[in-house]
Amino acid sequence: MEKLIQQYTDHAKNGFYSVHLSELSNKGNQAFTTSDIHNHNGVLLARKGVNIDQDVRQQLIKHKLLKPLDNHIGLEHQADTQTLIKEFRRLVDKYPDLQVVNDALNFGPEFEKLLQLERLHPLITQKLTVLEAQMYSEFEKSVFAAWLSTLIAREMGLTLDERRDTLVAALIHDIGLLHLDPDIICSNRKLSAEEWRTVRAHVVVGKIIADAVPGIYPAVSRAVIEHHEDCFGAGYPLALNEDQLGIPGKIINMTDSIHSIRVKSFRNSQRTLGDIKPYLQLNPTTNGYEVYRATMAIIKKSGLQPVRLKPDGCPQDYAKNLGKQIDILREAKQALDDIHENLLELRDRIDRHDVKQLSAIAAITHRIRSTLHESGLLSNEIAEWLHEERELSDVDEQVMGEFNEIELLIKELTWQIRNTVRMFHSYKDSNTSHDTMMLEHIETSIQSIQAIFDRLS
Ligand SMILES: [Fe+2]
């Protein structure tokens, strides 16, 4: 941890933050200096009272700063509680299923009250202002995370202090992104292993920034650095296990996953939070069973039901197509078994740094194999049921619901396997000193998984 903190301290002081600040004026919000800014040798870089324009930004970006840049910055307009409440109401308007959850659990007014009670430090509201202007989707995600994570925290019976820490951590969990190269962070292209390392650094940068906020509770910065860890030791930056993780970080990891499914995966469909259950059932222990139980309870209490999507073709073709996808998953599982065995063997033969990374990937392959097994998707019963001859009249609402659920399970498992493949490539690209023969063997299995999945599209 100490090494990581040292490595990213200068990023947290400025990194690319001045780039964002200089762009704020184009959006009608001028950033300016509130005190003289010096580099680490005491040389004056910018005087108090100047606007952060292109020239100042160039000057700042070239030097290591004595103190964090955000300490010297004022903004013409800064976000406050009302900004967050406004964004929350906009979010609920945009996704009416959130309103259903609020109504059923009587949470909307309580959440707004929590926001009002929490006096966010100006350093935090400064970061949220910049996040809203420069990375709006991340800002929206932070408000979603603040809402859902405090609801989960309430459902888990956490104390008021723990709920407050969860709220603040959820709001700021991704602010580290503002200090990293926007060409990488905001890119839609395929990233290299080195670039992925940059993206992953946002948790460390976020923790350093949070630690520097006067009066912030240690649980907040802990949650920030832990929000991409998971209970299997398959997360980053430290691949910690369940016992080593705090609750707020686990909750925020859960809300980020749900946000991604609700906002990205369901973007072009009518699906809602009521369709999230299959995902939850596949991942009951990723963020600890208590977080799963509370999240599931919320969805159940909301009364939201899965949306029954009618297939384009006839139900029988739909079922047969699902059957084919399961056959493909079955083949992928065999390749995954092979990779898992090789990873374990490889792990026993290499140095300590690599062991940590490989253990994380092996933890994921292990998790997916058990998830596949526990889902029952690969059972003969499901295969036979899907291949049954059916007339349209035989397919009632319940059967269609089960088809839909199977489809969601397949999608989630497919995503998990593809993600493992990405992790492995990232590991392979970032190392030169390892067992070439074994890696080639794994690469062959990965390629076979990719070839298998190509048939899915
Ligand atoms: Fe994140």
Cis peptide bond N-terminal to 214, omega within 30: no
Q: What is the dihedral of CA 306, 312, 313, 315, to 10 degrees?
A: 10
Report CA(41)–ligand 1 centroid distance (Å). Answer: 33
The predicted structure's pLDDT at residue 220? 97
Report CA(142)–ligand 1 centroid distance (Å). Answer: 10
- Reported as a single tens digit per residue, the pLDDT across 304-336 is 988 877 766 677 788 888 888 888 888 888 888
Report CA(144)–ligand 1 centroid distance (Å). Answer: 13
The predicted structure's pLDDT at residue 414? 86
Report CA(202)–ligand 1 centroid distance (Å). Answer: 7
Report CA(159)–ligand 1 centroid distance (Å). Answer: 25
One-character DSSP codes across 72-94:
GEEESS---HHHHHHHHHHHHHH
- Reported as a single tens digit per residue, the pLDDT across 363-396 is 888 888 888 888 888 888 888 888 776 665 556 7
- Reported as a single tens digit per residue, the pLDDT across 286-307 is 899 999 999 999 999 999 988 8
Report CA(203)–ligand 1 centroid distance (Å). Answer: 6
* 407 vs 224, residue with greater confidence: 224
The predicted structure's pLDDT at residue 451? 83
- Reported as a single tens digit per residue, the pLDDT across 421-445 is 877 777 766 665 566 776 787 788 8
Report CA(133)–ligand 1 centroid distance (Å). Answer: 18
**Report field, pTM of the whole predicted structure over 0.85:** yes
As assigned by CATH, the class of the 81-302 domain is mainly alpha
Report CA(185)–ligand 1 centroid distance (Å). Answer: 11
User: Does residue 170 have a pLDDT over 90?
Assistant: yes
Provide the pLDDT confidence category of residue 73 given band limits of 50, 70 and 90: very high
The predicted structure's pLDDT at residue 26? 84
Report CA(162)–ligand 1 centroid distance (Å). Answer: 20
The predicted structure's pLDDT at residue 430? 62
Kindly state the average pLDDT of the residues 42-70.
91
Report CA(253)–ligand 1 centroid distance (Å). Answer: 8
- Secondary structure of the chain: what % helix, strand, coil (to 5)? 70, 5, 25
Q: Which residues pair with 46 in a beta bridge?
A: 37
What is the percent of the chain with per-residue pLDDT over 70, rounded to a whole number? Answer: 93
What is the percent of the chain with per-residue pLDDT over 90, rounded to a whole number? Answer: 50
Report CA(177)–ligand 1 centroid distance (Å). Answer: 8
Provide the pLDDT confidence category of residue 232 given band limits of 50, 70 and 90: confident
Sketch the domain layout of the chain as residue ranges.
2-75, 81-302, 315-454
Average pLDDT across the chain, whole number: 88
Report CA(340)–ligand 1 centroid distance (Å). Answer: 27
Report CA(123)–ligand 1 centroid distance (Å). Answer: 19
CA pair distance 412, 424, nearest whole angstrom: 19
Report CA(118)–ligand 1 centroid distance (Å). Answer: 22
165 close to 220: Cβ distance less than 8 angstroms: yes
Kindly state the average pLDDT of the residues 48-65.
91
The one-letter code for the residue type at 442 is I
User: Does residue 397 have a pLDDT over 80?
Assistant: no
Report CA(194)–ligand 1 centroid distance (Å). Answer: 17
Assigned token pair, 435: 């067992």
Report CA(259)–ligand 1 centroid distance (Å). Answer: 12
Report CA(312)–ligand 1 centroid distance (Å). Answer: 36
Kindly state the average pLDDT of the residues 69-74.
92
Assigned token pair, 321: 């197509």
User: Does residue 398 have a pLDDT over 80?
Assistant: no
How many residues make up the chain in this entry? Answer: 457
The predicted structure's pLDDT at residue 196? 86
- Reported as a single tens digit per residue, the pLDDT across 180-206 is 999 999 888 888 878 888 999 999 999
- Reported as a single tens digit per residue, the pLDDT across 130-166 is 999 999 999 999 999 999 999 999 999 999 999 999 9
| Selection from 112, 334, 349, 147 nearest residue 256 by Cα | 147
Kindly state the average pLDDT of the residues 240-268.
94
Report CA(448)–ligand 1 centroid distance (Å). Answer: 31
Q: Could you tell me which residues come within 8 angstroms of residue 85 by beta carbon, excluding any fewer than 6 positions away?
A: 112, 115, 116
